[in-house]
Structure 1
């Protein structure tokens, strides 16, 4: 039996208050407005983070917060449409949301991160939030590399980088197929400079299309399988976190 999805943005305040009192864990999808090749929408990272967050929220009876649609994505700024937040703004948004849910009685806080560039600022935010008294877990798609290796048919571009490829394209096809233009999908396997990823890159200098890998074999069915596997791994992690929180 599927649990109901509690979406904070669609609920009245007394309902959210009751859920908080009952111990529902707030879950914040944190995405980005970032290029994903000529075939995927700029909101790809937000779509994926929201999709995984919805699965977790259903599985544990959590409180799904509205997704943050921007992130720290300066390495894609050479591609039109990308909108990047600064490191500190990304960190501060997470901290401010955490302060709000803490004020309303949250026992813990979960951030589901959809973009690699968000990892460092969100890790710092989680440390700051936890130090202020609200334990915080950042979910960075646990098991992603193993899931992709098991289910995808194409080789990754390298460095554990899955961007606008079969993996991401399949998941967006499963979640928002009308936003994907498969006729424009191209494969690109860039040559990485010797300083990658130790030096902050300009990704347009590495990949002309913005694609890292081959999105062309992507299918909605594969996307559903990938998403289910991601949600299962993330749910295990979040469940362990929730069970470790004080009653």
Structure 2
């Protein structure tokens, strides 16, 4: 009997190997729980019995220096949302890859769409999900340039539909643990050490760290003069710096990424300083805080 069983196993192995040889050699994804693109209709119906919550990442397709993929914001945001959805039942429903990124158009590969289009497409997606029975929407802004757009989207959902929407980062903020990593004393923003570290943890196979280069920045003189105050965390300096910095070439502000940076990185730290350990710590801090917020909201307003 043991010999027969072993022979049958061998036949099964040959059959499965033969079938794999006949399928797409590029396909390597594994099915992820609560991730809408992977789900069947019965699985969505089953999830609706447990929750009426949806995480929608609002992201971007834009240059991220010489070492990170164009899809960094979209991919990092979706991966964070997936991690959250493994700890607490919530649907992960990405809608758009691209976002508002006109200031990165000086680098090939960037795709930028208007804030009006972003809001309208997401609003129509929300209305579809409402029709199926989902009611609460957690907007995960995965691209800083979409902040105002995401806020407007949240307001329109709340004002114009039966849905209830919140900014997930804002909701998670009170639950975040204070970081043990000392605050950087060097300007480090887009595609810098922080974002590269997150990518090394979340999407490691897409990071080409040896390709990274320390950027040479050329900021307008008055913005350069503000940098020490910005790095020190002065809220006024940060507010006015970001109001003018990283804007489309067409505005004439001389602050598009191609006008300020040799590599597209907006920072003066060497991205090679990034580590997956830093990325893991930052990701777990956010994910745990987001889960805590979602659980609290579920307690305050149980799913009917």
TM-score range, shorter chain: 0.7 to 0.9
Instruction: Indicate whether 1:212 and 2:239 are aligned.
Output: no
Q: Secondary structure at the residue paired with 1:196?
A: helix
Select 2:166's aligned residue among 127, 137, 140: 137
Against the structure 1 CA distance between its residues 179 and 153, is the aligned structure 2 distance closer, same or farther, given a 3 Å change threshold? Answer: farther
Partner of 1:222: 278
- Distance change (3 Å), C-alpha of 1:196 and 1:244: same
- Quote the offset at 1:126 in angstroms: 0.7
Partner Cα separation in structure 2 for residue 27 and residue 235 of structure 1: 11
Larger radius of gyration: 2
Change (3 A) 1:191 1:151: farther
Name the counterpart of 1:203.
257
2:117 corresponds in structure 1 to 89
User: Which of 31, 56, 68 is the matching residue for 1:28?
Assistant: 56
1:75 to 103, 107, 110: 103
Query: Secondary structure in 2 aligned to 1:197?
Result: helix
d(CA) in 1 for partners of 2:95, 2:283 = 17
- Mapping for residues 1-247 of structure 1, pairs under 5 Å: 5-66=33-94, 68-131=96-159, 132-140=161-169, 150-151=180-181, 154-157=184-187, 162-188=189-215, 190=217, 192-193=219-220, 194=223, 196-199=241-244, 200=247, 201-213=255-267, 214=269, 215-245=271-301, 247=304
Contact 1:157 1:190 in 2 (8 A): no
- Secondary structure, counterpart of 2:106 in structure 1: coil
| RMSD between superposed Cα atoms in Å | 2.6
**SS of alignment partner, residue 42 of structure 1:** coil
Structure 1: tracts of 5 or more residues without a match? none
Is the contact made by 1:190 and 1:206 (CA closer than 8 Å) also made in structure 2?
A: yes
Q: Could you give the per-residue CA deviations for residues 82-138 of structure 1, whole angstroms, max 9, x where no partner exists?
A: 001101011112211111111111131112111011111111111111112210012
Note closer, same or farther for the CA distance 1:89–1:139 as it changes in structure 2 (3 Å cut): same
Runs of 4+ in 1 over 6 A off after TM superposition: 146-149
Contiguous gaps of at least 5 residues in structure 2: 1-31, 224-239, 248-254
Give 1 or 2: higher helix fraction: 2
Q: TM-score, normalised by structure 2?
A: 0.71
How far apart are the structure 2 equivalents of 1:10 and 1:80?
31
Distance in 2 between the 1:186 and 1:106 partners? 45
State the alpha-carbon separation in 2 of the partners of residues 62 and 172 from structure 1.
23
Q: Count the aligned residue pairs.
A: 240
The 10-residue stretch of structure 1 (52-61 or 149-158) with the greater mean CA deviation from structure 2: 149-158
CA distance in 2, matches of 1:5, 1:101: 18
CA 150–164 in structure 1, closer or farther in 2 if over 3 Å, else same: farther
Distance apart, 1:244 and its partner CA: 3.6
